Amino acid sequence: MSSTSASDARRVRLFGSLCALVFLVNFGRVVFAPLVAPLQADFLATDAAVGLVATLAWLGSALPRLPTGWLLTRVDRHHVVLGTGALLAVSSAGMTFAPPSSS
């Protein structure tokens, strides 16, 4: 196999992996769509409340992409990955030790 063929094969594998990753990330967001009606019935939520929750979920997914893209153009990728991992760990710990709601 020539070096050009090996390089092309590697690019095809990389592209396929990226496509699979994008599919799985987006599938993780849209898999909840069939659950909207049962959850609305269980929580006795209005259409407006359910629409607001869905909108906020999509905004919460989209908004961090802009500063992350900007950051990736200025900081090494591994530093960004480590920083976001640390942020996730601290956030998870904060949620774990948060006092229970008084509802």
CA distance 85 to 78: 10
Mean pLDDT in the chain? 87
| Predicted pLDDT at 103 | 63
2 pLDDT higher than 70: no
Task: Convert the pLDDT of each residue in 17-57 to its tens digit.
Answer: 988 888 887 777 777 778 888 989 999 999 999 989 888 88
| Predicted pLDDT at 82 | 94
Domain segments of the chain as ranges: 1-31, 33-63, 64-97
Q: Are 72 and 80 in contact (CB under 8 A)?
A: yes
| Predicted pLDDT at 66 | 87
Closest CA relative to residue 69, chosen from 58, 77, 59, 61: 77
| Predicted pLDDT at 1 | 54
